Structure 1
């Protein structure tokens, strides 16, 4: 097949996208596909025409464009199938406040939250008890995130988000273990436990991508009942958001066994050491086999 590999883009997560694309390109070559690399940051105006001549598009974008559904909408217009969620589901999942409303409507715990817009401004009073996380309402890789423990630090945390031209999602800090759960097709993958490196307050950008970052244990050494609970909740969230193909959700499990879904990622990291590929490897998928399966699922849903 002629496959367009779409990566790069103009978000703050561009470098992460390009890093994953190199591994995906190798897998696509190994599978025998004719691959054209496409970076929307360089040639967006030609995406529609290029997509019309392709058999499939493999999207490896993070942030916007990509996770906001824009690229998927153009590909739909071109009649070019791709892996993962469609435009509406992508945008819904990317918007943390909107997705939290979906979680709550479907009986899934999520930390108490407050959305603050730049129009409301930095003087907006905090409605939640400290400590709280303050993060961009749309975005990933923990960029722009702050853990606020003192009221006097709250306005500066809002400024940090507003400087990124984002609304701010304020979320109650829930102490516990961070666990991530991937979905592949209609199956929940094994959980991965994430332990930030010593001295870190949370799973920030450095923990995710530095060589000496967080410890990630797969399968997570937790009770089987907890594993089943999180997997079931992730399957419900995946369906409620209208996602297809694959996704990955981040959870907190408290010491007393309560679980909270933080957010869902529709275009998970795709290097061999990324979280979803690691979980897929535990159930028998090599990285190349995982890429092949994502293509199969995309063709099955949109071919």
Structure 2
């Protein structure tokens, strides 16, 4: 087995992708696996053609890496790869579509509305903002309808902040998802495996100093993590059960991370799902693996081997 880790790309999350890719490469190399790290460029397809011993581990964050595009290309080439299939990745990538599936399946998620930038121009931004506040109240969270790493995300507590939050959001995508802000305990639950064999790792509790934004996620010091999360056994079981339901109902594969806020009523509100969770030195899935008593080296080797044997 020869593992080719793909990282980089052209999205806003390129730097995080490279850091995640290097960490995967290091762990696989420590496991004795033949592994290389490649950017996604015009040399990729020639490198992959005719290879029968290779399995690809996509570590691209953001568009093309998580929206099913790269996965679709690998399927066209007949190359085995780690992670969720193209069709399912497309569904998970669009937050409003994923949230509609959650609602259908009885999985709690905050109230939301999805609005394109063009609509604000066509009917008048101030009128749309008035409608948002009248219907949803405040506070709300404004975020790109597609994307990750908290890029373009803002917490809005006053009406006058909404315009700036929307401008910030539209810098990262042409459609905004406006979501009711939920208070409670913020946790991330990482999942390993596929289907009935999937398992939830210990939840990570996130306590941020200020907003849990891009800077806080990837630069040590601004966030305190507790793993396992400081939850009662019943609450820990609730968030694990909810994350597993998300992973299975969206037909995700190999690994994922589900972001949840356990609200004041003890309801696990799903905030987001990540089909290519970050694997940097400050990322949450590696913390969960270590808290489970397993080594990253062996877990990553097993993930790559399962993908290689599957195809």
Shorter-chain TM-score: what band?
A: over 0.9
2:186 and 2:282 mapped to 1: Cα distance? 18
**Does structure 1 retain, via aligned residues, the 8 Å contact 2:217–2:283?**
no
1:272 and 1:293 mapped to 2: Cα distance? 20
Mean Cα displacement is larger for which, 47-56 or 167-176? 47-56
1:257 and 1:36 mapped to 2: Cα distance? 44
1:38 and 1:259 mapped to 2: Cα distance? 38
Residue 158 of structure 1: how far off its partner (Å): 1.4
Residue 97 of structure 1: how far off its partner (Å): 0.7
2:214 and 2:298 mapped to 1: Cα distance? 28
Indicate whether 1:242 and 2:251 are aligned: yes
Aligned residue number for residue 180 of structure 2:
172
1:189 and 1:166 mapped to 2: Cα distance? 34
**Does structure 2 retain, via aligned residues, the 8 Å contact 1:47–1:74?**
no
Which stretches in structure 1 are left out of the alignment for 5+ residues?
A: none
Of 198, 201, 205, 1:193 maps to 205
**Per the alignment, in what secondary structure is the counterpart of residue 119 of structure 1?**
helix
Aligned residue number for residue 108 of structure 1:
107
Which stretches in structure 2 are left out of the alignment for 5+ residues?
A: none
Q: TM-score, normalised by structure 1?
A: 0.93
1:274 and 1:160 mapped to 2: Cα distance? 24
2:33 and 2:298 mapped to 1: Cα distance? 14
Quick one: structure 1 residues 222 and 165, their matched pair in 2 at CA, closer, same or farther if it must change by over 3 Å? closer
**Does structure 2 retain, via aligned residues, the 8 Å contact 1:218–1:279?**
yes
1:169 and 1:121 mapped to 2: Cα distance? 13
Mean Cα displacement is larger for which, 23-32 or 225-234? 23-32
**Per the alignment, in what secondary structure is the counterpart of residue 307 of structure 2?**
helix
2:161 and 2:283 mapped to 1: Cα distance? 33
Residue 96 of structure 1: how far off its partner (Å): 0.8
Indicate whether 1:134 and 2:142 are aligned: yes
Q: TM-score, normalised by structure 2?
A: 0.91
**Per the alignment, in what secondary structure is the counterpart of residue 261 of structure 1?**
strand
Cα RMSD for the two superposed structures: 1.5
Aligned residue number for residue 151 of structure 2:
143
Residue 165 of structure 1: how far off its partner (Å): 3.2
1:24 and 1:239 mapped to 2: Cα distance? 24
Residue 211 of structure 1: how far off its partner (Å): 1.9
2:78 and 2:153 mapped to 1: Cα distance? 37
Aligned residue number for residue 272 of structure 2:
263
1:256 and 1:109 mapped to 2: Cα distance? 12
Of 217, 222, 243, 1:213 maps to 222
Aligned residue number for residue 224 of structure 1:
233
2:282 and 2:118 mapped to 1: Cα distance? 40
Quick one: structure 1 residues 191 and 165, their matched pair in 2 at CA, closer, same or farther if it must change by over 3 Å? closer
**Per the alignment, in what secondary structure is the counterpart of residue 168 of structure 2?**
helix
Of 158, 162, 168, 1:154 maps to 162
Runs of 4+ more than 6 Å apart: none
Aligned residue number for residue 59 of structure 1:
58
